[in-house]
Amino acid sequence: MILILKSIIGSCVMAFIGIVFGLIYKGIDRKLHAHMQMRVGPPITQPFKDVRKLLLKENLVPENAVDWVFNLMPILSLVSVISILLYIPLGFDPILSTKGDLILILYLLMLPAICLILGGFASSSPYATVGAQREMVMMISYEFPLAVTIIAMVWRLSKIYTVSNVFTLQFISSNPLWDKVGVFGLIGLVILLAVLLIVTPMELSKIPFDVPEAETEIAGGLLVEYSGKNLAMFYMSDAVKTIVMASIVVALFFPYGISHYFDLSLYINYVIDFAFFLIKTFTVILVSVTIARTSFARLKIDQVAYMLWVPVTITSIIGLLLLYLDTIL
């Protein structure tokens, strides 16, 4: 009973953290993006105002849409990304941690994209259908280098530790690889980090990889028919997924805390590590999302697919091979 209560309270806390800080990061991203383009930009609190406005508006469902699918997908998308946060160490131990939870995280990461695809098809809009097709192409393309990156790190850890919970994100973040590999291993880790930083804006469909929405081409694509509370949930889902992707990068490559440098109480140490975690996630978002979408224009869908299947995938495999060479040399 206590465990169930802890899970319920923890889920509510994670939902609050994910939505609030996700919207804050989204506001900071928009502000910095504007300043990089020599514009003033909206206030940092603008995403909160956008969500509030959408929640007060009426849900409109297209006449020929499949109603129950159209209305269910935003809820499922938001629930799935919040569920991932339960398994990620956010400067403190995750609420849930089980053997193989990294595999579960990989599956849950696909759900928001699948929800967008099904919602787009269910809306019966030709623009949303085109966006859904593009999202499918992207999802098929970026999942492979993402999986290679994570599997490579887990495999390298399995050569160091003979434990059964090596596929647990908590175990990986507690045993960073940087000080356990040689020169080849370090180069491989840097390459895998670069791959994950490239895959992150693809997972989030941010410029230059925002082809499924592409407002200037297909009028918003996947989300063209969504409004009101449904659009608000997709908006919050995107904000939480931004936190999720940045948190995964931090947990895999930069899991270090700073509380051990201070001789303070346990709970204050948690606060310090959580604050440091937020700084690290913001840095990842700044490099992977904000600077990328300011520096590049939108790519075509064929360019995105080629980039993922050839340069990015080959690069991830090279990182895997370098980690393998590190074990035999």
Helix axis angle, 101-122 relative to 67-85, nearest 10°? 160
Provide the pLDDT for residue 135.
Answer: 84
Give the per-residue pLDDT at 183: 87
Nearest to 212 by CA among 121, 285, 137, 144: 137
Helix ranges restricted to H, the chain = 2-36, 46-56, 67-85, 101-122, 126-158, 169-174, 183-203, 215-218, 228-253, 266-285, 291-295, 301-307, 313-328
Predicted local distance difference test score (pLDDT) of residue 195: 92
CB distance 153 to 172 below 8 Å? yes
Cis before 94 (ω within 30): no
CA torsion sign for 7, 8, 9, 12 is positive
d(CA 120, CA 73): 9
Q: Can you tell me the distance from the alpha carbon of 134 to that of 209, in angstroms, rounded to the nearest whole number?
A: 10
The candidate with the shortest Cα–Cα distance to 76, out of 125, 51, 101, 110, is 110
Give the pLDDT confidence score for residue 90 in this predicted structure.
80
DSSP state of 181: S
Contacts of 298 (CB under 8 A, 6+ apart): 207, 208, 209, 210, 211, 214
Q: What is the DSSP string of 14-44?
A: HHHHHHHHHHHHHHHHHHHHHHHTT-----T
Q: What distance in Å separates the CA atoms of residue 146 and residue 151, rounded to the nearest whole number?
A: 9
3-state SS, residue 64: coil
Residue 97 confidence (pLDDT): 72
Please say whether the dihedral angle defined by the alpha carbons of residues 142, 148, 151 and 157, taken in this order, is positive or negative.
negative
> What's the pLDDT at 216?
65
pLDDT score at 218: 66
Residues written for the chain: 329
Query: How many other CB atoms are found less than 10 A from the CB of residue 217?
Result: 16
Q: In this predicted structure, what is the pLDDT of residue 315?
A: 92
What is the pLDDT at residue 307? 84
- pLDDT score, position 215: 66
Q: Count other Cβ atoms within 10 Å, centred on residue 187.
A: 17
Residues 6 or more apart in contact with residue 274 via CB below 8 angstroms: 90, 91, 92
pLDDT along the chain (329 residues), means of 10: 71 85 90 87 89 87 82 90 87 75 85 88 82 84 87 85 77 83 88 91 82 68 81 90 91 82 75 87 90 83 84 91 84
Alpha-carbon span 185 to 325, nearest angstrom: 8
